[in-house]
Amino acid sequence: MKKKLSIRDIAEQLKVSKTTVSFVLNGKAAENGVSKAMERRVLAYIEKVGYRPNRMAQGLRTGRSKTIGMMVEDISDAFFSSIARKFEEILSVKGYRIIYGSTENNTAVAKDLIQVFRNHQVDGYIIAPPPGIEEDIRELIADELPVIVFDRTLPNLEVDSVLVDNHQGAYRATRHLLDNGYKHITLVTLTSEQIQMRERERGYLDCLAEAGKRAKILRIKYHEQREKAVSDIEKNIPADTDAVLFATNYLAENGLEAIAMRRWNIPDQVAIAVFDDCNWFKLFKPSITAVAQPLEAICTEVVDLLLQKLEHAGHKAPRSLHLPTHLVIRDSSQQRSQ
């Protein structure tokens, strides 16, 4: 049984002081005048016995945990889990680990999670915020803790953020449906007031308004029983609908089922477009048109902003990035006759 080593053991074995070991460990050998030879000796020994400093002790001492708290709506969602993976990739090379929490868009859960992250002394916060936590986020910022929000933001909240251009994405998808000859485009969205949803709605509305068409919006409650969502859509989708834009992947999942129940043929009777792409969409028959979010870019931008704050703390004016989406046109939105 490998006994747990401490820096003191290392120092004793090596007949040097803890300080020296500590300096070497933290790459501060040179600046503190530890000889190159000594540095190599320490490094070699550490390597040999597989010593790694105790993060708890380090953390207690330095106030930094090398841990990032990531709060999303649902880690099992394809969008957020892809994001989680990329954050992990980028942050792990910088020595950070991630602890995550799913809010289900619940304010109380989110508030609690922020406290939990605080207890864990996370060094930074990556947050896809549910409604109602503006104040909590402001407190983090007031305490100089690095916070980046992404995917959506909150009204009147000044914070670094990385968003996609939801308006543009929905606008283009709608435009595309119109261009392909569809006339009665229904938006299926959530009842939620979240900004990204509002923006998607606005994109859709603006496009239809320009085209002089009437908008039809079907609002579904978040996370009821799956079956309820399906029947809700099935029952309430306007009968003259000839195209549907689903505002989220989750809605598409239920909505496609509803459309199958109605036996509407895609794309001849009804066209489909979905906000948020998914690997499986290209395999559907017909394949499904989607607004793809730039996952890679979102993640690198978030981490960039975060690392900047982590490395040189200090209040800069919050920056807000808007990344473009990309419309992936597939078969579900183009009539065969065309």
- Alpha carbon of residue 163 to chain centroid: 9
Q: Which is nearer to DNA, 34 or 230 (CB)?
A: 34
**Site mask for a second copy (CB under 8 A), range 131-170, x = bound:** --------x--xxx--------------------------
Say whether residue 16 binds DNA (CB under 7 A).
Answer: yes
Task: Give which of DNA, a second copy, none residue 236 binds (C-beta under 5 to 8 Å, depending on kind).
Answer: none
Residues 44, 26: Cα–Cα separation, whole Å: 15
**Site mask for a second copy (CB under 8 A), range 300-319, x = bound:** --------------------
Member of 6, 41, 45, 55 binding a second copy (CB under 8 A): 55
Helix (H, G, I), strand (E, B) or coil at 98: strand
Beta bridge partners of 185: 243
Member of 12, 13, 28, 108 binding DNA (CB under 7 A): 28
Member of 5, 18, 43, 59 binding a second copy (CB under 8 A): 59
Measured in residues, the chain has a length of: 338
Q: Which is nearer to DNA, 6 or 287 (CB)?
A: 6
Say whether residue 115 binds DNA (CB under 7 A).
Answer: no
Say whether residue 33 binds DNA (CB under 7 A).
Answer: yes
Helices (DSSP H) in the chain: which residue ranges? Answer: 7-14, 18-25, 36-49, 55-62, 78-93, 107-119, 134-142, 166-179, 195-211, 226-236, 249-262, 295-311
Member of 184, 257, 292, 294 binding a second copy (CB under 8 A): 257
| Cis peptide bond N-terminal to 267, omega within 30 | yes
Member of 12, 44, 54, 115 binding DNA (CB under 7 A): 54
